Amino acid sequence: MKKKQYDLNFKKMVVAKGKEIGNMTAVARQHDLDPKMVLRWARELNRKDLDELDGTSVKQSKFVPTAEDYAQLEKENEKLKKLYAEQALERDILKDLLKKTNPHLRIK
């Protein structure tokens, strides 16, 4: 199902009528609209984000990683691998120590 887009003038008219009556839900039903959508339009008009309301706002460009980003991620990955290996070794040492000091608490 395709999203239906409404122009800014229609949105302003619906919100103005809703404020005049004092009931956004009733106005939304008169125009066969979702009441939540009309309430969102009213909230956005109050914030004066008319670009967002009209749907003409500039969309952010998609992030394209560079070679520098990959190099940084590889460094971070190596650092995390080393940290994990150290923690695994420490855990194994502590298990062995626990087995030696408390033979009745054998961990399998």
| Number of Cβ atoms within 10 Å of the Cβ of 24 | 21
pLDDT of 104: 74
Q: Which residues of the chain fall short of a pLDDT of 70? A: 1-2, 48-61, 105-108
Residue 88: per-residue pLDDT: 97
pLDDT given at position 66? 92
- State residue 86's pLDDT score: 98
| pLDDT at 3 (0 to 100) | 72
For CA atoms 10, 13, 15, 17, give the dihedral sign: negative
C-beta of residue 28 within 8 angstroms of C-beta of residue 37: yes
- How does the average pLDDT of the chain come out, rounded? 83
